[in-house]
Amino acid sequence: MTRVLFITLMAVLLSACSSDWGWYVVNPTTPKGMTNLKFLLSGLGYTVLLSVTAIVISIIIGLLVALPGLSKNRLLKGFNRTYVELVRAVPILVMILWVYYGLPQLLSVTITVFWAGVIALALSDSAFEAEIFRAGIQSIDKGQYEASHTVALGYVDTMRFIILPQAIKRILPALGNQLVYMLKMSSLVSVIGMQELTRKANELVVTEYRPLEIYTILLLEYLVLILIVSAGVRWLERRMETDIAR
Amino acid sequence: MQSVSKFFGSFQALNSVSIDVRLGERVVVCGPSGSGKSTLIRCINQLEKHDEGSITIDGHPLQHNKKSLQVIHDNIGMVFQQFNLFPHLSVLDNLTLGPIRSRGMSKKQANELAMQYLERVRIPEQAAKYPSQLSGGQQQRVAIARSLCMEPKIMLFDEPTSALDPEMINEVLDVMVELAESGMTMICVTHEMGFARRVADTMVFMDHGQIIENTNTAKFFDSPESERCQEFLQQILPH
Ligand SMILES: Nc1ncnc2c1ncn2[C@@H]1O[C@H](COP(=O)(O)OP(=O)(O)OP(=O)(O)O)[C@@H](O)[C@H]1O
Ligand SMILES: [Mg+2]
């Protein structure tokens, strides 16, 4: 992974020597370049905050939608299927526009750009989280439920102490994927004016007319973020592996 | 248990089965594969819901409701062929989870109780390990201890030694013999006839979802009544 990053950086730097590039626009040794660079990076906090808040909410919704899907009750199962099918069918950009411009009118509330972004991203992602949880929980052996019954645990305790800890360990890589996905999708929230990485880049391009350099920086910003997330997930997986033998 | 029947779709796994088990009685259930032995004992703790007939535990008829669940949780322990230990919990946590969460014990009390039962199954030194670090025989003994920690009145065993390597069978059977001698009510599906002869008060032979024989142990081995049972014993007993 670090090698990929290195090669990409080298490629960018090499081509930077050609006369087409105008790196001066973000050259940190000049005051102007430094200001621009800081401006670009100032979106980082929102991108991370937006993505992390959205993924946490989406995991909670996902779990709450997945559990009824595992029941034998037709009504509960139906709720699960309907939710997943409907939510999955909405393009994320449409969801963002709908939550930001539509929802406030529907509920007659005001909604900030940040929370509109969080809600839209969380909703969009929750259908996928629900499917991940459902598959993960289904992969746990029936004997675990039976054993749990013999030590007198009810549904909630069985889920909390027996099934979910094992399921979450199994779906950790998939959850990590969703976080990566979320970081990327958060760029779409720029359309409603969220001051995150992509929005900052767009604004700078308008004033500096150097889309190639600025968007290249943007691309690298996401790359670095996502590499960090990947490393984090792998670290977590390894830790769980040693924590929980097997 | 009165005229209990159980269907899987259109297949009848139990056909009007009746059996009484007294407190302290030790029953061994045997019979060919697919005869309904597992289904029978799984109906007793409602891992399978019976379709007809009635099952009464300590005077409480089992229905599909909360009260019956409580009766089962209070009275019945079970040991499975595949152990079904919780792989993500240490041996000690496997044993204490039930007492802490459903008996309201403190962690300290539960730990003491667990160690006491681990000593009884002779593996107190494994308390901190995880199930996957133990041999099959040790895992099954942990499973027995886990059930005992709930202090049940009745213990169900579904072929507890069938998944074990031959050299580990005896360490598990020894624990079960001791348990039988301590006066525990036991219903045990097994093909270990030496064990059956030694501890069982009553032998039950099943075939095609029916109880064919239900007699005291001596009579069962000396002069079984039905032909099917005689054949079965001939196949299974060393000559
Ligand atoms: N969940 C199920 N769905 C459908 N059929 C089942 C189910 N469980 C058991 N059966 C059927 O019911 C019959 C009795 O099964 P059971 O497991 O009680 O037999 P058994 O006597 O325990 O056999 P074994 O010695 O192989 O364990 C078998 O024919 C089996 O195929
Ligand atoms: Mg069986």
CA B123 to chain centroid: 21
Instruction: Give pLDDT tens digits for A183-214.
Output: 999 999 999 988 899 998 999 999 988 888 89
Residue ranges of E strands in B91-230: 154-158, 185-189, 202-207, 210-216
Structure-block tokens of residue A39 = 């401006």
pLDDT band at B99 (very low <50, low <70, confident <90, very high): very high
Q: Considering only CB atoms, which chain A residues are within 8 Å of B82?
A: 143
Q: List Cβ neighbours of A194 (8 Å cut-off, separation of 6 or more).
A: A46, A50, A113, A114, A117
Mean pLDDT of B180-194: 92
Closest CB from B87, B88, B102 relative to A151: B102
> Do B132 and A154 count as a contact with CB atoms less than 8 A apart?
no
Closest CB from B87, B130, B132 relative to A166: B87
> Do A245 and B150 count as a contact with CB atoms less than 8 A apart?
no
pLDDT band at A246 (very low <50, low <70, confident <90, very high): very low
Q: Pocket of ligand 1, candidates B5, B37, B81: which has the most ligand atoms within 8 Å of its Cβ, to mutate?
A: B37
DSSP 8-state assignment for residue A14: H
Q: Pocket of ligand 1, candidates B8, B28, B210, B232: which has the most ligand atoms within 8 Å of its Cβ, to mutate?
A: B8
Q: Considering only CB atoms, which chain A residues are within 8 Å of B49?
A: none
d(CA B125, CA B189): 29
Instruction: Give pLDDT tens digits for A60-96.
Output: 999 999 999 998 899 999 999 999 999 999 999 999 9
> Do B74 and A153 count as a contact with CB atoms less than 8 A apart?
no
pLDDT reported for residue A1: 66
* Interface pTM, i.e. ipTM: 0.92
- Element counts in chain B: helices (H) and strands (E): 9, 11
Q: Considering only CB atoms, which chain A residues are within 8 Å of B102?
A: 151-154, 157
B224: pLDDT strictly greater than 80:
no
Give the whole-number percent of chain A exceeding pLDDT 90.
67
Nearest CA in chain B to A157: B101
User: Relative to the CA of B189, which ligand 1 atom is closest?
Assistant: 22
d(CA A186, CA A92): 10
d(CA A120, CA A118): 6
Q: Considering only CB atoms, which chain A residues are within 8 Å of B39?
A: none
d(CA B154, CA B145): 14
> Do A151 and B74 count as a contact with CB atoms less than 8 A apart?
no
CA distance, residue B147 to nearest chain A CA (Å)? 7
Residue A239 touches partner B, C-beta closer than 8 Å: no
Collapsing DSSP to helix, strand or coil, B78 comes out as strand
B239: pLDDT strictly greater than 60:
no
Instruction: Give pLDDT tens digits for A139-183.
Output: 999 999 999 999 999 999 999 999 999 999 999 999 999 999 999
pLDDT band at B13 (very low <50, low <70, confident <90, very high): confident
Instruction: Give pLDDT tens digits for A9-49.
Output: 777 666 666 557 788 888 888 888 888 888 988 889 999 99
CA distance, residue B175 to nearest chain A CA (Å)? 19
Residue of B35 and A27 predicted with greater confidence:
B35
- Most B CBs within 10 Å: which of A150, A155, A159, A163, as the mutation test of the B interface? A150
Instruction: Burial-class residue A37 by CB neighbours within 10 Å (0-12, 13-18, 19+).
Output: middle
Angle between helices A44-69 and A211-243 (to 10 degrees): 50
Task: Give the ligand whose atoms come closest to the C-alpha of residue B40.
Answer: 1
User: Relative to the CA of B206, which ligand 1 atom is closest?
Assistant: 21
d(CA A103, CA A97): 9
Residue of B66 and B101 predicted with greater confidence:
B101
Structure-block tokens of residue A71 = 């029941």
Q: HSE, CB side, 13 Å, CA atoms: give it for residue A165.
A: 16
Q: Which of A10, A29, A30, A12 is nearest to A21 (CA)?
A: A12
Q: HSE, CB side, 13 Å, CA atoms: give it for residue B206.
A: 27
A169: left (phi over 0), alpha (psi -120 to 50) or beta: alpha
Structure-block tokens of residue A35 = 């200001």
d(CA A142, CA A145): 5
pLDDT band at B66 (very low <50, low <70, confident <90, very high): confident
HEC letters along B173-187: HHHHHHHHHCCCEEE
Mean pLDDT of B86-96: 94
Q: Which of A233, A49, A73, A58 is nearest to A132 (CA)?
A: A58
pLDDT reported for residue A17: 61
> Do B47 and A144 count as a contact with CB atoms less than 8 A apart?
no
